[in-house]
Amino acid sequence: MSQTTEQINRSDIGDILENSLNGHRPGPEDCLRLLESDDVHLMGLVSGHLTRKQFGKKVSFVNNIILNYTNVCITDCKFCAFYRSPGSDDAYTLSLDQIESRVKTAWDMFKIRQVLIQGGHNPNLKIEYYENAFKMIRQKFPEVGVHGLSASEIDMISRIEKSSTKEVLSRLKESGLQSIPGAGAEILVDSVKDVISPKKISSTDWIRIMDEAHSLDIPASATMMYGHVENNDDIVDHFFKIVKLQEKTSGFMAFIPWNFEPNNTLMQEEKLVEYGTGGTQLLKMIAISRLVFNGLIPHIQSSWLTNGVGMAQLALQYGANDFGGTLIGEEVVSCTGSRSTELTGKLIVDAIHQIGYQAEERDNFYNSIALL
């Protein structure tokens, strides 16, 4: 690190990076300075060092499928190219038999360890639909973890059932829900949400539902979708709302920053956002995520889905330690036409080996299954 030390001494963010190396996480003002700095390479050197200190040169991934169980949605988010209104010709909802068939095929072919269950806000689905699906997966495929339903989907179920979100979470946990993805956060600032997803839950509700999940011992991921109408102050707010909750609950296992992909979305049509933010911004967001959450949220995901495998390899050297999951049958990002969204375990392992790291298959709780 001696050459790096010299660079740190010369950098306009050197004091922040030095504090990070000494175990002091950046505060909100420091985070804003990092976002405004162009010294992305130096941030990456420091965040990469902190990551290797914790994980060595080991990168985890999970063999999974994303099960988009319905595309029917009444939330009409401007950033989404996937949803269809109720009654649309190409609207669908999977039956229990179809869900079983997809999970069985994925288990037989790929030995998946997790099914990530996400869909639209479908007003026709009662809680029993989810309970029956989760029970079936856990009974018939006990080695496959159920990682499912965003906070906003849980809010939708609670409104349909006229029940509290905590009661919904409790029932879903009893039927087999094991962990919750971070979707629905976008940017946890309501002035941003009012533009991109005015019908979706507020920032306060997202935090509250995650707090309730953690209180029921349901761990979760946290996410950030950046690169649309937010500014740097909004990003700082988002980071530190998650910091505050994590300091209280320790319920987040991972953080996943990913860039908004505008193709085929209403936001592109309305010229709110015409193109994505690109690779340099991804590396900056990965590095800052590691610095902000170091010692607080252990795992930072490489965000290959919206940026591709090559960028994910770089992200692993800028502070990420987890590749995320394999994807077979994903439908949401693929609706933007941005890239192929199919990736098998072998391709992930090869990508990790190419940069001189060791691959570790994990389950949905980040427990090691095998070193590859």
Please state the residue numbers annotated as binding site for S-adenosyl-L-methionine.
Answer: 79, 186
- Helices assigned H by DSSP within the chain: 2-10, 14-21, 28-36, 40-55, 96-110, 127-140, 151-161, 165-175, 190-196, 203-215, 232-249, 266-269, 279-293, 304-315, 345-354
φ and ψ at 363, to 5 degrees?
Answer: -100, -170
Binding residues, as ranges, are 73, 77, 79-80, 150, 186, 303
Widest Cα–Cα separation across the chain = 63
Binding residues for (3R)-3-methyl-D-ornithine, as ranges, are 150, 303
**Residues 261, 336 contacting (CB under 8 angstroms):** yes
**Residues 359, 97 contacting (CB under 8 angstroms):** no
**Residues 319, 289 contacting (CB under 8 angstroms):** yes
> 10 Å Cβ neighbour count for 86?
12
- Helices assigned H by DSSP within 177-278: 190-196, 203-215, 232-249, 266-269
Binding residues for [4Fe-4S] cluster, as ranges, are 73, 77, 80
Residue owning tokens 């209280």: 248
- The helices-and-strands tally (H runs, E runs) of the chain is 15, 10
